[in-house]
Amino acid sequence: MSDALSQVEAILPQLSSSERILLIQKLNEEMGTHPGSGIDIQPGVCGGEARIIRTRIPVWLLVQARNLGKTDTQLLAAYPSLRPDDLTNAWTYAARHEAEIEAQIKENESA
């Protein structure tokens, strides 16, 4: 366990309920998975990779398709469960987590 995580664990019992809520909100914002972001990350779902909420469509897959020349219109046609705002959320998440998405693309290309 990292020193930073150990420090957080030591401080956590001292936080009030409202401070804990603020901490959770801050963590969610940092990860780009705050409520309403349209992006979800759950261990055991899509390998724990960022995905479009309500689906099992990982963000990296959409980014890779876009990199290969697919348009938003083509992606929406290929994935009928997607909504236009899902793509906006995916592009926003990908821009904030560029290294993560690129690593996932590379990992899945070699699989």
Same domain (yes/no): 53, 103: yes
Structural domain that includes position 105: 36-109
- pLDDT tens string 28-39: 666 655 556 899
CATH code, domain carrying 75 = 1.10.10.10
Same domain (yes/no): 57, 85: yes
Q: Which long-range contacts (CB under 8 A, 24 or more apart) does 93-100 make?
A: 93/32, 93/37, 93/39, 93/50, 93/59, 94/59, 94/60, 94/62, 94/63, 96/32, 97/32, 97/50, 100/50
What residue type is assigned to position 70 of the chain? K
Same domain (yes/no): 60, 16: no
Single out the residue of 71, 74, 85 nearest to residue 38, CA to CA: 85
Same domain (yes/no): 53, 10: no
Which of the two residues, 27 and 80, has the higher pLDDT score?
80
- pLDDT tens string 37-66: 899 988 889 999 999 999 999 999 999 999
Same domain (yes/no): 27, 71: no
Question: Total domain count for the chain?
Answer: 2
CA distance 8 to 72: 41
